[in-house]
Chain A
Protein backbone atom coordinates (compact mmCIF):
# COMPACT_ATOMS: atom_id res chain seq x y z
CA UNK A 1 0.00 0.00 0.00
CA UNK A 2 2.67 2.58 0.93
CA UNK A 3 4.56 1.59 -2.23
CA UNK A 4 1.48 2.18 -4.38
CA UNK A 5 0.94 5.53 -2.71
CA UNK A 6 4.56 6.47 -3.30
CA UNK A 7 4.27 5.44 -6.97
CA UNK A 8 1.14 7.54 -7.48
CA UNK A 9 2.82 10.63 -6.04
CA UNK A 10 3.62 13.06 -8.80
CA UNK A 11 2.15 10.73 -11.45
CA UNK A 12 0.24 13.58 -13.11
CA UNK A 13 3.37 15.73 -13.28
CA UNK A 14 5.32 12.81 -14.74
CA UNK A 15 2.59 12.27 -17.37
CA UNK A 16 2.61 15.97 -18.23
CA UNK A 17 6.37 15.88 -18.75
CA UNK A 18 6.09 12.66 -20.76
CA UNK A 19 3.53 14.36 -23.02
CA UNK A 20 5.74 17.42 -23.37
CA UNK A 21 8.65 15.13 -24.25
CA UNK A 22 6.69 13.19 -26.86
CA UNK A 23 5.27 16.34 -28.47
CA UNK A 24 8.74 17.95 -28.56
CA UNK A 25 10.17 14.76 -30.08
CA UNK A 26 7.45 14.78 -32.77
CA UNK A 27 8.15 18.46 -33.50
CA UNK A 28 11.88 17.73 -33.81
CA UNK A 29 11.19 14.76 -36.11
CA UNK A 30 8.86 16.88 -38.27
CA UNK A 31 11.49 19.63 -38.59
CA UNK A 32 14.24 17.13 -39.38
CA UNK A 33 12.12 15.15 -41.86
CA UNK A 34 10.76 18.33 -43.43
CA UNK A 35 14.26 19.53 -44.20
CA UNK A 36 15.16 16.21 -45.85
CA UNK A 37 12.27 16.29 -48.35
CA UNK A 38 13.24 15.94 -52.01
CA UNK A 39 11.48 17.95 -54.73
CA UNK A 40 8.96 15.24 -55.62
CA UNK A 41 8.34 14.50 -51.95
CA UNK A 42 7.68 18.20 -51.41
CA UNK A 43 5.06 18.07 -54.18
CA UNK A 44 3.34 15.13 -52.47
CA UNK A 45 3.50 16.87 -49.09
CA UNK A 46 2.06 20.06 -50.58
CA UNK A 47 -0.85 18.13 -52.14
CA UNK A 48 -1.75 16.71 -48.72
CA UNK A 49 -1.21 20.07 -47.04
CA UNK A 50 -3.70 21.62 -49.47
CA UNK A 51 -6.28 18.97 -48.57
CA UNK A 52 -5.59 19.62 -44.90
CA UNK A 53 -6.08 23.38 -45.35
CA UNK A 54 -9.32 22.77 -47.23
CA UNK A 55 -10.64 20.63 -44.39
CA UNK A 56 -9.32 22.71 -41.49
CA UNK A 57 -9.83 26.23 -42.83
CA UNK A 58 -12.13 26.32 -45.84
CA UNK A 59 -14.73 23.84 -44.57
CA UNK A 60 -14.70 25.58 -41.17
CA UNK A 61 -15.41 29.02 -42.65
CA UNK A 62 -19.23 29.06 -42.21
CA UNK A 63 -18.94 28.08 -38.53
CA UNK A 64 -16.06 30.51 -38.03
CA UNK A 65 -17.97 33.42 -39.64
CA UNK A 66 -21.13 32.70 -37.65
CA UNK A 67 -19.23 32.47 -34.35
CA UNK A 68 -17.27 35.63 -35.08
CA UNK A 69 -20.32 37.63 -36.09
CA UNK A 70 -22.30 36.65 -33.01
CA UNK A 71 -19.37 36.97 -30.64
CA UNK A 72 -18.40 40.40 -32.01
CA UNK A 73 -21.96 41.66 -31.63
CA UNK A 74 -22.53 40.18 -28.17
CA UNK A 75 -19.17 41.40 -26.85
CA UNK A 76 -19.95 44.90 -28.08
CA UNK A 77 -23.37 44.83 -26.42
CA UNK A 78 -21.81 43.87 -23.08
CA UNK A 79 -18.97 46.37 -23.33
CA UNK A 80 -21.37 49.10 -24.50
CA UNK A 81 -23.49 48.65 -21.36
CA UNK A 82 -20.47 49.16 -19.12
CA UNK A 83 -18.98 52.07 -21.08
CA UNK A 84 -22.21 54.03 -21.41
CA UNK A 85 -22.45 54.14 -17.61
CA UNK A 86 -19.27 56.27 -17.66
CA UNK A 87 -20.09 58.13 -20.85
CA UNK A 88 -17.10 56.58 -22.60
CA UNK A 89 -18.89 55.12 -25.65
CA UNK A 90 -16.32 56.74 -27.96
CA UNK A 91 -13.71 54.17 -26.90
CA UNK A 92 -15.91 51.26 -27.86
CA UNK A 93 -14.16 50.38 -31.12
CA UNK A 94 -10.72 50.47 -29.46
CA UNK A 95 -11.79 48.14 -26.67
CA UNK A 96 -13.52 45.81 -29.09
CA UNK A 97 -10.45 45.68 -31.33
CA UNK A 98 -8.11 44.92 -28.48
CA UNK A 99 -10.39 42.30 -27.00
CA UNK A 100 -10.99 40.50 -30.29
CA UNK A 101 -7.50 40.75 -31.76
CA UNK A 102 -5.54 40.11 -28.58
CA UNK A 103 -7.58 37.34 -27.01
CA UNK A 104 -10.88 36.23 -28.50
CA UNK A 105 -9.82 35.68 -32.10
CA UNK A 106 -6.94 33.25 -31.60
CA UNK A 107 -8.69 31.52 -28.68
CA UNK A 108 -11.99 30.89 -30.47
CA UNK A 109 -10.24 29.78 -33.66
CA UNK A 110 -8.10 27.40 -31.57
CA UNK A 111 -11.24 25.90 -30.01
CA UNK A 112 -12.87 25.55 -33.44
CA UNK A 113 -9.79 23.84 -34.88
CA UNK A 114 -9.54 21.43 -31.94
CA UNK A 115 -13.21 20.48 -32.13
CA UNK A 116 -13.30 20.02 -35.91
CA UNK A 117 -9.83 19.04 -37.05
CA UNK A 118 -7.88 18.03 -33.94
CA UNK A 119 -10.34 15.27 -33.09
CA UNK A 120 -10.37 14.15 -36.73
CA UNK A 121 -6.56 13.98 -36.78
CA UNK A 122 -6.46 11.92 -33.57
CA UNK A 123 -9.08 9.50 -34.92
CA UNK A 124 -7.37 9.21 -38.29
CA UNK A 125 -3.94 8.51 -36.81
CA UNK A 126 -5.33 5.96 -34.36
CA UNK A 127 -7.24 4.07 -37.07
CA UNK A 128 -4.29 4.16 -39.44
CA UNK A 129 -2.04 2.78 -36.73
CA UNK A 130 -4.42 -0.01 -35.72
CA UNK A 131 -5.06 -1.07 -39.32
CA UNK A 132 -1.33 -1.40 -39.98
CA UNK A 133 -1.39 1.36 -42.58
CA UNK A 134 1.47 3.25 -40.92
CA UNK A 135 3.64 0.11 -40.93
CA UNK A 136 2.78 -0.51 -44.57
CA UNK A 137 3.73 3.06 -45.50
CA UNK A 138 7.06 2.84 -43.66
CA UNK A 139 7.99 -0.54 -45.13
CA UNK A 140 7.08 0.60 -48.63
CA UNK A 141 9.51 3.51 -48.43
CA UNK A 142 7.09 6.27 -47.41
CA UNK A 143 8.19 7.92 -44.16
CA UNK A 144 4.96 8.38 -42.13
CA UNK A 145 6.36 11.49 -40.44
CA UNK A 146 7.05 13.16 -43.79
CA UNK A 147 3.86 11.92 -45.40
CA UNK A 148 1.38 12.32 -42.55
CA UNK A 149 2.73 14.63 -39.86
CA UNK A 150 4.55 17.36 -41.81
CA UNK A 151 1.46 18.21 -43.95
CA UNK A 152 -0.78 18.29 -40.87
CA UNK A 153 1.62 20.60 -39.10
CA UNK A 154 1.94 22.93 -42.10
CA UNK A 155 -1.80 22.78 -42.74
CA UNK A 156 -2.50 23.52 -39.07
CA UNK A 157 -0.31 26.63 -38.97
CA UNK A 158 -1.59 28.04 -42.29
CA UNK A 159 -5.23 27.29 -41.42
CA UNK A 160 -5.06 28.87 -37.96
CA UNK A 161 -3.49 32.02 -39.48
CA UNK A 162 -6.17 32.22 -42.17
CA UNK A 163 -9.05 31.56 -39.78
CA UNK A 164 -7.82 34.12 -37.24
CA UNK A 165 -7.68 36.80 -39.94
CA UNK A 166 -11.24 35.95 -41.05
CA UNK A 167 -12.49 35.67 -37.47
CA UNK A 168 -11.04 39.02 -36.39
CA UNK A 169 -12.36 40.81 -39.47
CA UNK A 170 -15.88 39.39 -39.17
CA UNK A 171 -16.03 39.89 -35.38
CA UNK A 172 -15.03 43.54 -35.76
CA UNK A 173 -17.59 44.02 -38.53
CA UNK A 174 -20.25 42.35 -36.38
CA UNK A 175 -19.30 44.66 -33.55
CA UNK A 176 -19.53 47.67 -35.84
CA UNK A 177 -23.01 46.65 -36.99
CA UNK A 178 -24.28 46.53 -33.40
CA UNK A 179 -22.49 49.78 -32.53
CA UNK A 180 -23.93 51.45 -35.63
CA UNK A 181 -27.45 50.52 -34.52
CA UNK A 182 -26.92 52.14 -31.12
CA UNK A 183 -24.49 54.99 -31.70
CA UNK A 184 -24.18 57.69 -34.34
CA UNK A 185 -20.76 56.45 -35.56
CA UNK A 186 -19.60 56.19 -39.15
CA UNK A 187 -17.61 53.34 -40.70
CA UNK A 188 -14.71 55.76 -41.34
CA UNK A 189 -14.60 56.70 -37.65
CA UNK A 190 -14.74 53.02 -36.69
CA UNK A 191 -11.86 52.16 -39.05
CA UNK A 192 -9.83 55.10 -37.76
CA UNK A 193 -10.29 53.99 -34.17
CA UNK A 194 -9.32 50.44 -35.16
CA UNK A 195 -6.14 51.75 -36.77
CA UNK A 196 -5.21 53.46 -33.52
CA UNK A 197 -6.03 50.39 -31.44
CA UNK A 198 -4.03 47.90 -33.51
CA UNK A 199 -0.34 48.33 -32.88
CA UNK A 200 2.81 46.26 -33.15
CA UNK A 201 1.99 44.45 -29.88
CA UNK A 202 -1.37 43.21 -31.17
CA UNK A 203 0.16 41.98 -34.42
CA UNK A 204 3.01 40.23 -32.59
CA UNK A 205 0.59 38.59 -30.16
CA UNK A 206 -1.65 37.38 -33.00
CA UNK A 207 1.31 36.07 -34.97
CA UNK A 208 2.79 34.21 -31.99
CA UNK A 209 -0.52 32.76 -30.88
CA UNK A 210 -1.32 31.54 -34.41
CA UNK A 211 2.11 29.93 -34.65
CA UNK A 212 1.88 28.25 -31.24
CA UNK A 213 -1.75 27.12 -31.60
CA UNK A 214 -1.28 25.99 -35.21
CA UNK A 215 1.71 23.89 -34.17
CA UNK A 216 0.53 22.45 -30.86
CA UNK A 217 -2.98 21.39 -31.89
CA UNK A 218 -1.88 18.99 -34.70
CA UNK A 219 1.09 17.76 -32.67
CA UNK A 220 -0.86 17.01 -29.48
CA UNK A 221 -3.76 15.43 -31.36
CA UNK A 222 -1.63 13.22 -33.62
CA UNK A 223 0.54 12.29 -30.64
CA UNK A 224 -2.51 10.96 -28.76
CA UNK A 225 -3.77 9.21 -31.90
CA UNK A 226 -0.44 7.44 -32.32
CA UNK A 227 -0.48 6.16 -28.72
CA UNK A 228 -3.17 3.53 -29.33
CA UNK A 229 -1.80 0.02 -29.20
CA UNK A 230 -4.19 -2.82 -29.98
CA UNK A 231 -7.88 -2.25 -29.65
CA UNK A 232 -10.38 -0.01 -31.44
CA UNK A 233 -11.89 0.81 -28.03
CA UNK A 234 -8.77 2.91 -27.42
CA UNK A 235 -9.73 5.30 -30.25
CA UNK A 236 -12.51 7.26 -28.46
CA UNK A 237 -10.33 7.46 -25.33
CA UNK A 238 -7.45 8.82 -27.39
CA UNK A 239 -9.72 11.38 -29.08
CA UNK A 240 -11.15 12.59 -25.77
CA UNK A 241 -7.68 12.93 -24.25
CA UNK A 242 -6.40 14.69 -27.38
CA UNK A 243 -9.16 17.31 -27.30
CA UNK A 244 -8.99 17.90 -23.54
CA UNK A 245 -5.19 18.16 -23.43
CA UNK A 246 -4.95 20.36 -26.52
CA UNK A 247 -7.61 22.67 -25.06
CA UNK A 248 -5.64 22.90 -21.82
CA UNK A 249 -2.42 23.56 -23.75
CA UNK A 250 -4.22 26.20 -25.83
CA UNK A 251 -5.52 28.08 -22.78
CA UNK A 252 -2.23 27.80 -20.92
CA UNK A 253 -0.01 28.86 -23.82
CA UNK A 254 -2.43 31.70 -24.71
CA UNK A 255 -2.31 32.99 -21.14
CA UNK A 256 1.49 32.74 -20.96
CA UNK A 257 1.90 34.60 -24.25
CA UNK A 258 -0.53 37.34 -23.18
CA UNK A 259 1.29 37.81 -19.87
CA UNK A 260 4.68 37.89 -21.62
CA UNK A 261 3.55 40.41 -24.23
CA UNK A 262 1.23 42.72 -22.31
CA UNK A 263 2.32 42.50 -18.68
Chain B
Protein backbone atom coordinates (compact mmCIF):
# COMPACT_ATOMS: atom_id res chain seq x y z
CA UNK B 1 0.00 0.00 0.00
CA UNK B 2 1.50 3.38 -0.98
CA UNK B 3 2.50 5.73 1.80
CA UNK B 4 -0.18 8.40 2.40
CA UNK B 5 0.76 12.01 1.76
CA UNK B 6 -0.62 13.04 5.12
CA UNK B 7 -1.38 11.02 8.24
CA UNK B 8 -2.90 12.06 11.54
CA UNK B 9 -1.82 9.52 14.16
CA UNK B 10 -3.83 9.44 17.39
CA UNK B 11 -4.23 13.20 17.24
CA UNK B 12 -5.92 14.97 20.11
CA UNK B 13 -6.75 18.63 19.74
CA UNK B 14 -8.29 20.87 22.37
CA UNK B 15 -9.98 24.18 21.60
CA UNK B 16 -8.59 27.26 23.44
CA UNK B 17 -11.51 27.11 25.89
CA UNK B 18 -10.63 23.47 26.71
CA UNK B 19 -13.29 21.68 24.61
CA UNK B 20 -12.05 18.54 22.82
CA UNK B 21 -12.14 19.01 19.06
CA UNK B 22 -10.50 15.68 18.17
CA UNK B 23 -9.68 12.81 20.49
CA UNK B 24 -7.09 10.25 19.33
CA UNK B 25 -8.04 10.78 15.70
CA UNK B 26 -6.42 8.52 13.09
CA UNK B 27 -6.89 9.70 9.54
CA UNK B 28 -4.93 9.36 6.33
CA UNK B 29 -4.97 11.36 3.12
CA UNK B 30 -3.71 9.40 0.12
CA UNK B 31 -1.67 11.03 -2.62
CA UNK B 32 -3.95 12.32 -5.36
CA UNK B 33 -7.07 12.15 -3.14
CA UNK B 34 -9.67 14.91 -3.43
CA UNK B 35 -12.07 15.59 -0.60
CA UNK B 36 -14.80 18.09 -0.21
CA UNK B 37 -15.31 18.44 3.55
CA UNK B 38 -18.54 19.42 5.27
CA UNK B 39 -19.25 20.11 8.90
CA UNK B 40 -21.17 22.45 11.14
CA UNK B 41 -19.76 25.56 12.76
CA UNK B 42 -17.21 24.56 15.40
CA UNK B 43 -17.21 21.02 14.05
CA UNK B 44 -13.48 21.07 13.40
CA UNK B 45 -13.18 21.62 9.62
CA UNK B 46 -10.81 24.59 9.94
CA UNK B 47 -9.05 22.90 12.87
CA UNK B 48 -8.40 19.84 10.68
CA UNK B 49 -6.93 22.04 7.94
CA UNK B 50 -4.74 23.87 10.46
CA UNK B 51 -3.52 20.54 11.86
CA UNK B 52 -2.72 19.28 8.38
CA UNK B 53 -0.75 22.46 7.60
CA UNK B 54 1.20 22.31 10.85
CA UNK B 55 -0.23 25.62 12.04
CA UNK B 56 -2.14 24.07 14.95
CA UNK B 57 -0.04 21.86 17.15
CA UNK B 58 -1.85 18.74 18.41
CA UNK B 59 -2.19 18.29 22.17
CA UNK B 60 -1.51 14.60 21.62
CA UNK B 61 -0.36 12.35 18.76
CA UNK B 62 1.38 13.62 15.64
CA UNK B 63 0.84 14.72 12.07
CA UNK B 64 3.10 13.23 9.41
CA UNK B 65 3.38 15.04 6.08
CA UNK B 66 5.19 13.34 3.21
CA UNK B 67 6.85 10.93 5.65
CA UNK B 68 8.20 13.65 7.96
CA UNK B 69 6.42 14.64 11.21
CA UNK B 70 5.32 18.28 11.46
CA UNK B 71 6.84 19.90 14.54
CA UNK B 72 6.46 23.48 15.72
CA UNK B 73 9.58 25.54 15.11
CA UNK B 74 11.25 22.85 13.00
CA UNK B 75 11.42 23.61 9.26
CA UNK B 76 9.61 20.96 7.20
CA UNK B 77 11.09 20.16 3.76
CA UNK B 78 7.64 19.89 2.11
CA UNK B 79 6.71 23.37 3.32
CA UNK B 80 10.14 24.83 2.58
CA UNK B 81 9.83 23.78 -1.05
CA UNK B 82 6.51 25.63 -1.25
CA UNK B 83 4.56 22.46 -2.09
CA UNK B 84 1.67 23.18 0.25
CA UNK B 85 -1.05 25.48 -1.02
CA UNK B 86 -2.65 27.06 2.05
CA UNK B 87 -5.83 29.01 1.39
CA UNK B 88 -7.38 30.21 4.67
CA UNK B 89 -10.83 31.78 4.76
CA UNK B 90 -9.43 35.35 4.69
CA UNK B 91 -6.83 34.53 2.03
CA UNK B 92 -3.84 35.01 4.37
CA UNK B 93 -2.18 37.51 2.04
CA UNK B 94 0.39 40.05 3.26
CA UNK B 95 -1.50 43.34 3.53
CA UNK B 96 1.49 45.49 2.59
CA UNK B 97 2.14 43.68 -0.70
CA UNK B 98 0.15 43.86 -3.93
CA UNK B 99 -1.69 40.76 -5.17
CA UNK B 100 1.10 40.30 -7.73
CA UNK B 101 3.84 40.49 -5.08
CA UNK B 102 1.89 38.15 -2.81
CA UNK B 103 1.67 35.52 -5.53
CA UNK B 104 5.28 36.01 -6.63
CA UNK B 105 6.80 35.94 -3.12
CA UNK B 106 6.74 32.15 -2.52
CA UNK B 107 8.05 31.61 -6.06
CA UNK B 108 11.04 33.79 -5.29
CA UNK B 109 11.59 32.73 -1.71
CA UNK B 110 10.77 29.02 -1.74
CA UNK B 111 11.54 28.15 -5.34
CA UNK B 112 14.33 30.60 -6.17
CA UNK B 113 12.72 32.13 -9.27
CA UNK B 114 14.16 35.48 -10.32
CA UNK B 115 11.97 38.52 -9.67
CA UNK B 116 11.00 39.09 -13.30
CA UNK B 117 10.18 35.42 -13.94
CA UNK B 118 8.20 35.10 -10.69
CA UNK B 119 6.16 38.22 -11.41
CA UNK B 120 5.50 37.10 -15.00
CA UNK B 121 4.19 33.74 -13.77
CA UNK B 122 2.15 35.47 -11.06
CA UNK B 123 0.60 37.88 -13.56
CA UNK B 124 -0.30 35.03 -15.95
CA UNK B 125 -2.12 33.20 -13.17
CA UNK B 126 -3.85 36.34 -11.90
CA UNK B 127 -5.07 37.08 -15.42
CA UNK B 128 -6.44 33.55 -15.71
CA UNK B 129 -8.37 34.19 -12.50
CA UNK B 130 -9.70 37.49 -13.83
CA UNK B 131 -7.60 39.53 -11.40
CA UNK B 132 -5.09 40.87 -13.93
CA UNK B 133 -6.31 44.46 -13.66
CA UNK B 134 -6.14 44.33 -9.86
CA UNK B 135 -2.69 42.74 -9.75
CA UNK B 136 -0.98 45.90 -8.51
CA UNK B 137 -3.51 46.63 -5.78
CA UNK B 138 -3.09 45.59 -2.18
CA UNK B 139 -5.50 42.93 -0.85
CA UNK B 140 -7.67 45.46 1.01
CA UNK B 141 -8.63 47.27 -2.22
CA UNK B 142 -10.27 44.50 -4.24
CA UNK B 143 -11.83 42.96 -1.10
CA UNK B 144 -12.09 39.65 0.77
CA UNK B 145 -13.43 37.50 -2.06
CA UNK B 146 -10.76 38.56 -4.49
CA UNK B 147 -8.08 38.10 -1.81
CA UNK B 148 -9.27 34.55 -1.29
CA UNK B 149 -9.14 33.89 -5.04
CA UNK B 150 -5.65 35.45 -5.14
CA UNK B 151 -4.65 33.05 -2.40
CA UNK B 152 -5.84 30.16 -4.64
CA UNK B 153 -3.78 31.71 -7.44
CA UNK B 154 -0.74 31.74 -5.14
CA UNK B 155 -1.20 28.01 -4.45
CA UNK B 156 -1.56 27.29 -8.18
CA UNK B 157 1.39 29.43 -9.30
CA UNK B 158 3.85 27.61 -7.07
CA UNK B 159 2.69 24.20 -8.24
CA UNK B 160 1.34 23.01 -4.88
CA UNK B 161 1.09 19.24 -4.43
CA UNK B 162 -1.24 19.47 -1.44
CA UNK B 163 -4.04 22.03 -1.36
CA UNK B 164 -5.70 22.88 1.93
CA UNK B 165 -8.55 25.23 1.12
CA UNK B 166 -10.89 26.72 3.71
CA UNK B 167 -14.28 28.21 2.89
CA UNK B 168 -14.04 31.92 2.02
CA UNK B 169 -15.26 34.34 4.67
CA UNK B 170 -18.51 35.94 3.52
CA UNK B 171 -19.06 33.65 0.53
CA UNK B 172 -18.24 34.23 -3.13
CA UNK B 173 -19.99 35.97 -6.00
CA UNK B 174 -20.53 34.34 -9.40
CA UNK B 175 -17.29 35.71 -10.90
CA UNK B 176 -15.17 34.49 -8.01
CA UNK B 177 -16.83 31.05 -8.05
CA UNK B 178 -16.06 30.77 -11.75
CA UNK B 179 -12.42 31.79 -11.17
CA UNK B 180 -12.05 29.36 -8.24
CA UNK B 181 -13.58 26.51 -10.25
CA UNK B 182 -11.20 27.21 -13.09
CA UNK B 183 -8.10 27.23 -10.86
CA UNK B 184 -9.07 24.19 -8.81
CA UNK B 185 -10.20 22.34 -11.94
CA UNK B 186 -6.84 22.98 -13.54
CA UNK B 187 -5.00 21.76 -10.42
CA UNK B 188 -7.19 18.66 -10.28
CA UNK B 189 -6.08 17.65 -13.77
CA UNK B 190 -2.77 16.53 -12.27
CA UNK B 191 -3.36 13.08 -10.74
CA UNK B 192 -0.63 13.64 -8.12
CA UNK B 193 -2.24 16.75 -6.67
CA UNK B 194 -4.09 16.18 -3.39
CA UNK B 195 -6.92 18.53 -2.45
CA UNK B 196 -8.81 18.97 0.80
CA UNK B 197 -11.47 21.62 0.43
CA UNK B 198 -13.78 22.81 3.18
CA UNK B 199 -17.23 24.17 2.33
CA UNK B 200 -17.95 25.44 -1.14
CA UNK B 201 -20.96 23.42 -2.32
CA UNK B 202 -20.04 24.76 -5.77
CA UNK B 203 -17.03 22.41 -5.76
CA UNK B 204 -18.91 19.27 -4.71
CA UNK B 205 -18.01 17.65 -8.03
CA UNK B 206 -14.31 17.91 -7.13
CA UNK B 207 -14.10 14.72 -5.11
CA UNK B 208 -15.50 12.58 -2.35
CA UNK B 209 -17.51 14.05 0.44
CA UNK B 210 -15.88 14.16 3.84
CA UNK B 211 -17.93 14.80 6.96
CA UNK B 212 -16.25 16.34 9.97
CA UNK B 213 -18.05 16.53 13.29
CA UNK B 214 -18.22 15.18 16.82
CA UNK B 215 -14.47 14.81 16.84
CA UNK B 216 -14.52 12.36 13.93
CA UNK B 217 -13.80 12.42 10.20
CA UNK B 218 -15.86 10.25 7.84
CA UNK B 219 -15.59 9.56 4.14
CA UNK B 220 -19.09 10.09 2.79
CA UNK B 221 -22.00 11.02 5.00
CA UNK B 222 -22.00 10.40 8.76
CA UNK B 223 -23.37 6.90 9.46
Contacts and interface: CB of A to CB of B under 8 A. Distances in A.
Q: A and B from one assembly?
A: yes
Interface of A: 38-41, 43-44, 128, 131-133, 135-143, 146-147, 230
B92 A40 contact: no
Interface in B42-91: 53-55, 75, 79-86, 88, 90
Given A128-B94, A136-B151, A141-B79, 20 more contacts: A38-B112, A40-B108, A40-B109, A41-B109, A44-B105, A131-B90, A131-B95, A132-B92, A133-B92, A133-B93, A135-B86, A135-B92, A136-B88, A139-B53, A139-B79, A140-B86, A140-B106, A141-B82, A141-B84, A142-B110
Contacts of B94: 128, 133, 136-137
A236 B150 CA distance: 31
B110 A141 contact: yes
B216 to A, nearest CB: 25
Q: Is the interface of A mostly helix, strand, loop or mixed?
A: helix
Main secondary structure of the interface of B (DSSP, over half): loop
A27 to B, nearest CB: 16
Contacts of B105: 44, 140, 142
B145 interface: no
Nearest to B115: A43
Given A40-B113, A40-B114, A44-B109, A140 B84 contact: yes
10 closest cross-chain pairs (CB), A and B: A141-B110, A136-B92, A141-B82, A139-B86, A142-B109, A135-B55, A140-B106, A40-B112, A139-B53, A141-B106
Max chain B Cβ within 10 angstroms of own Cβ: one of A128, A132, A140: A140
Contact of A136 (B81, B83, B86): B86
A38 B114 CA distance: 12
Interface in B81-139: 81-86, 88, 90, 92-95, 105-106, 108-115
B80 A141 contact: yes
Interface of B: 16, 53-55, 75, 79-86, 88, 90, 92-95, 105-106, 108-115, 151, 154, 158
A55 to B, nearest CB: 11
A136 B93 contact: yes
A61 B126 CA distance: 39
Nearest to B53: A139
Contact of B84 (A38, A132, A139): A139
12 contacts: A38-B112, A40-B112, A40-B114, A44-B105, A131-B95, A135-B88, A140-B82, A140-B84, A140-B154, A140-B158, A142-B110, A143-B109
B48 to A, nearest CB: 14
A132 B109 contact: no
Nearest to A51: B96
B95 A133 contact: yes
A135 B166 CA distance: 14
Given A41-B109, A43-B115, A230-B16, A139 B55 contact: yes
Contacts of B53: 135, 139
Nearest to A33: B75
A147 B97 CA distance: 13
A143 B75 contact: yes
A230 B84 CA distance: 25
B115 to A, nearest CB: 7
Nearest to A139: B86
Nearest to B151: A136
A138 B79 contact: yes
Contacts of A146: 109
Contacts of B80: 141, 143
Contacts of B86: 135-136, 139-140
Contacts of B111: 141
A43 B104 CA distance: 13
A136 B111 CA distance: 16
Nearest to A148: B94
A141 B92 contact: no
